Amino acid sequence: QQQVKQSPQSLIVQKGGISIINCAYENTAFDYFPWYQQFPGKGPALLIAIRPDVSEKKEGRFTISFNKSAKQFSLHIMDSQPGDSATYFCAASNGNTGKLIFGQGTTLQVKP
Residues found near other proteins in the complex (CB under 8 A): 1, 3, 6, 9, 31-32, 34, 41-46, 49, 51, 89, 93, 95, 97-105
CB of 75 to other proteins, least distance (A): 14
CB of 109 to other proteins, least distance (A): 16
H-helix segments, 24-101: none
Pick the closer one to other proteins by CB: 19 or 93.
Answer: 93
The strands making up 56-59's β-sheet, listed across from edge to edge, are: 4-7, 19-25, 72-77, 62-67, 56-59
d(CA 4, CA 2): 6
Pick the closer one to other proteins by CB: 6 or 19.
Answer: 6
Neighbours of 103 (CB within 10 A): 23
Angle made by CA atoms 108, 19, 40, in degrees to the nearest 5? 20
Pick the closer one to other proteins by CB: 17 or 105.
Answer: 105
CB of 14 to other proteins, least distance (A): 25
d(CA 3, CA 25): 6
CB of 19 to other proteins, least distance (A): 18
Pick the closer one to other proteins by CB: 6 or 74.
Answer: 6
